[in-house]
């Protein structure tokens, strides 16, 4: 059985286990600790034939390979794919196809890839027919919380309506608990929880924020953690991973960094990673740094009046002026 047609076949079939939105739910427990470090990034499939047969997974593996690290996400996508595929196989024998709760918590510092990953997950779940539309909607406290009693529930319901069929991503979700019992944020949480329980809703909710704040937020709302069985940590990137991101971002833009330039950037990253451990904006900082270096290179080339191909693709040490940089660290 080939799952490649899952998108077109899946949504209309009442018996299709893939169609999670029409059914009740069971929880998935993901045990991060038992995973063998070596195995976890490896593809499930070795031959081209197998990859072709599992085309959706192969495409998402390729998409995720563009990103450095994110091992937990790569593994999660494998797990969800395998679960849905095996469910279909089980159905051929008349076996029960289980349902799962796929709401998630993403914990990590700014720029660690949370939004990027949530977008990819949205389109993956769409292609697997778990979500009917697969669009991505990012909101924050102000989009959910109103100014008077009843306003918040209405605002949140409006957001939920728009998010139907897709992924609703709430950034800095802990801010919903900011003002304690009297704050309207609580009303937003209650409305969200109600929608999660209500089978009419076809959406995956992802709450994101700094690790420490999210843990505190979850501890204030004892009913919440079990509703989000998938919790993913987005750790700060290591200096080597940041350098890999630098290389990938430059090569994507058709630039090359000189050896001298590499050492210079690496030294800088090593230093600021230590100094700004909690607020450092990881991948976003790298992107901004590179865009600034590209502007600096352009100014240098104009000044030098050098327009040959090699000059146009080369980024040098001098193109990174960290002490006068306009790029914010966080
Ligand atoms: N692993 C990675 N490999 C390559 N680029 C990355 C990686 N992680 C993040 N980036 C890049 O860093 C930038 C910021 O990523 P993203 O917006 O997903 O972070 P975020 O965790 O949502 O941040 P915030 O919490 O501040 O919203 C994007 O340009 C993204 O492409
Ligand atoms: Mg984000």
171-196 per-position pLDDT tens digit: 999 888 877 667 788 889 889 988 88
The region of weakest confidence among 131-140, 159-168, 234-243, 275-284 is 275-284
Mean pLDDT for the chain overall: 84
Res. 48: pLDDT tops 80? no
pLDDT, tens only, 198-231: 866 789 999 999 998 999 888 887 888 889 999 9
71 vs 327 pLDDT, higher one = 71
In this prediction, residues 67-92 reach a mean pLDDT of 93
Atom 23, ligand 1: which residue's CA is nearest? 111
248 vs 18 pLDDT, higher one = 248
Res. 265: pLDDT tops 60? yes
In this prediction, residues 11-15 reach a mean pLDDT of 32
pLDDT band at 140 (very low <50, low <70, confident <90, very high): very high
- Which CATH code for domain 239-324? 1.10.8.60
298-303 long-range contacts (CB < 8 A, ≥24 apart) are none
CB of 287 shorter than 6 A to ligand 1: yes
CB of 73 shorter than 6 A to ligand 1: no
* Residue whose token pair is 């994110």: 70
Sign of the Cα pseudo-torsion (55, 58, 64, 70, in order): positive
Q: Spell out the residues 6+ positions from residue 281 whose beta carbon is closer than 8 angstroms to its own.
A: 109, 110, 111, 328, 329, 330
pLDDT band at 21 (very low <50, low <70, confident <90, very high): very low
pLDDT at 304: 96
Q: Which ligand is nearest to the CA of 138?
A: 2
Query: Which of 66, 214, 246, 283 for mutating ligand 1's site (highest number of atoms within 8 Å of CB)?
Result: 283
- Distance from Cα 116 to the centre of ligand 2, integer Å: 7
pLDDT band at 284 (very low <50, low <70, confident <90, very high): very high
Atom 24, ligand 1: which residue's CA is nearest? 110
pLDDT at 314: 98
Tell me the β-bridge partners of 169.
138, 206
CB of 113 shorter than 6 A to ligand 1: yes
- Distance from Cα 109 to the centre of ligand 1, integer Å: 10
Res. 93: pLDDT tops 50? yes
The region of weakest confidence among 160-164, 165-169, 223-227 is 223-227
In this prediction, residues 107-122 reach a mean pLDDT of 94
Res. 17: pLDDT tops 60? no
Domain ranges of the chain: 3-234, 239-324
Res. 10: pLDDT tops 50? no
In this prediction, residues 123-142 reach a mean pLDDT of 92
pLDDT at 52: 75
**pTM (2 d.p.):** 0.81
CB of 68 shorter than 6 A to ligand 1: yes
136 vs 12 pLDDT, higher one = 136
The region of weakest confidence among 16-20, 147-151, 235-239, 322-326 is 16-20
Instruction: Find which of 41-55, 150-164, 206-220, 307-321 is predicted with most confidence, using mean pLDDT.
Output: 307-321
CATH of 3-234, one of 3.40.50.300, 3.40.250.10, 3.40.50.2300, 3.10.105.10: 3.40.50.300
In this prediction, residues 136-160 reach a mean pLDDT of 91
pLDDT at 27: 32
- Distance from Cα 249 to the centre of ligand 2, integer Å: 18
């Amino acid at each position: 059985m080939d799952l490649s047609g899952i998108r077109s076949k899946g949504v209309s079939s009442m018996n299709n286990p893939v169609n999670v939105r029409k059914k009740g739910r069971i929880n998935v427990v993901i045990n991060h600790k038992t995973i063998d470090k070596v195995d976890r990034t490896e593809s499930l499939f070795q031959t081209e034939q197998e990859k072709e047969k599992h085309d959706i997974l192969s495409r998402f593996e390729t998409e995720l390979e563009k990103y450095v690290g994110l091992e937990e996400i790569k593994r999660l996508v494998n797990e969800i794919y395998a679960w849905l595929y095996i469910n279909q196989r089980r159905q051929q024998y008349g076996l029960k196809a289980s349902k799962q709760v796929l709401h998630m918590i993403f914990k990590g510092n700014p720029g660690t890839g949370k939004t990027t990953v949530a977008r990819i997950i949205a389109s993956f779940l769409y292609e697997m027919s778990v979500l009917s539309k697969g669009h991505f909607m990012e909101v924050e406290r102000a989009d959910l919380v109103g100014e008077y009693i009843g306003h918040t529930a209405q605002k949140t319901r409006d957001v939920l309506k728009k998010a139907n069929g897709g992924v609703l991503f709430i950034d800095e979700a802990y801010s919903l608990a900011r003002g304690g019992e009297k704050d309207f944020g609580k009303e937003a949480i209650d409305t969200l929880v109600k929608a999660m329980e209500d089978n009419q809703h076809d959406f995956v909710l992802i709450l994101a924020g700094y690790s420490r704040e999210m843990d505190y937020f979850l501890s204030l709302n004892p009913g919440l953690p079990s509703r989000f069985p998938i919790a993913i940590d987005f750790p700060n990137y290591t200096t080597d991973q940041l350098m890999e991101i630098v290389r990938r971002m430059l090569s994507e833009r058709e630039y090359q960094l000189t050896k001298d330039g590499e050492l210079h950037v690496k030294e800088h990253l090593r230093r600021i990673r230590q100094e700004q451990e909690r607020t450092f904006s990881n991948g976003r900082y790298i992107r901004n740094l590179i865009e600034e270096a590209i502007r600096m290179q352009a100014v240098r080339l104009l000044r030098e009046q050098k327009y040959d191909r090699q000059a146009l693709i080369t980024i040098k040490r001098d193109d990174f002026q960290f002490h006068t940089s306009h790029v914010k660290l966080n």
